[in-house]
Structure 1
């Protein structure tokens, strides 16, 4: 989406006139609502042409909505090979039933996902184009530095020639620290909690978690960030699951997903806590990544590495960050 700003900075760009035309015909009432709701005037305080800046931000917002709707359609399409795996470059690459692909298929140099001079990205976790950036960095660390194999879901809308790929870099670092694992080992009953988000302008309504001890000497961790019922956008959650092996003190399975809800499904979901079976019966789950010790010669994830994955998966969720820190 930053390309729109770049185009307007270059009046010789082939799309320059098209962008000018687009911002000329924006709905003024909707523009005013957008500026107020997203505090745009505060963002553009130092810019000279504030009216154009407001319109450009609104245009980017509209385009982002359209792109996210298109991505949702691709992710929920009923077909054996969803995009981008149906491209000529990926058609021979093996994927599983969840549309996940092994990372070791790709050239991962410079923390890129590349095959035959085409670059791919892990699918975003919400409407933010960069929402999977920090998760990607955490997974790259495990895959490259620790030689652990992960499966990932590629963004269905991204297949970029290497010579046209200009990645954004972000400075924010997100770290997770170990929990009280000794206390968790001693659990006999479910340990669960819920955090409500009081920030009206944010998508998330609340976040549920549960540690659930099982008879096979494991404890299952499940956490879901659930959107507000009144959220005016794509109703999707971030859903994280892991299995803690009490004998080894490590994680033998870990996966993250997004879940799409209809209005009725979300209305039903918010009546339950993530520990309840009813909470897991609604919505359409799209896996984004998965780790299994069985794919790694029974090598398991360490506690610190698990915490890093969790907080980077839930980036921008302060409650999750506080919990793991």
Structure 2
């Protein structure tokens, strides 16, 4: 609201111990019901693609869920190659959009130095994710392979050597929902048409919310609007974490200058953010769950199932 965002598609993570996705969906609905200022939908994170879970993809579509996400890394979410194929095949049959965090874990032998080999020898090692710094990374991988119960990462932030924590143990991810529109518009690098396209319309099409969201079409759209200040009126606004509304104790944009900020945000025709008249004026619970169909962006031209037999 405060940053001009009227719709959020939030992750709904399945636990490894769960063999269904419907319980995950129900639990996430319960958390969101009557608690949201903005409109919302869910994207299921599949961590255990059991037969029971895969069998419920059709029911997910009936419940208005048309996108999933899977991971190739992180112990709590990582899928093996055969599981990834199972998800992709099942999702294709139900026209579910699948996002993939495509990063397998560390290498056992290659290091960053291998990229510096002369000639084409170095090019042979160009891959994603890239080889890491050195042998110490290899040792960590080997130790992890030997002991699956080893505790690493965020659970060991504090130690005698690093009593206030260590950089590598910092929680990953950058907050930016509230700041993204203002900073992008302030940069003055995009036409207004392109700005709307890349921040709103394209996402609405990808997740089958268009033209209800991402457009202003009479009789079809939700009348979600962001009203900005006339150029130069706001001056230079210095970003500080204390002015933001997220549940995070920092912003990576601290101290940056923005020449724009949403003056009004409207959700389904109602003013929910009034920067000069009270800030957040929307009512908690006004946000609605949005049922979604298949993506309206072009997909595979073939309607046939994949042939994975190799025939």
TM-score, length basis structure 2: 0.23
TM-score, length basis structure 1: 0.22
- Structure of greater relative contact order (alpha carbons < 8 Å, 6+ residues apart): 2
Pick the structure with greater CA Rg: 2
Write 1 or 2 for the structure with the bigger share of helix.
1
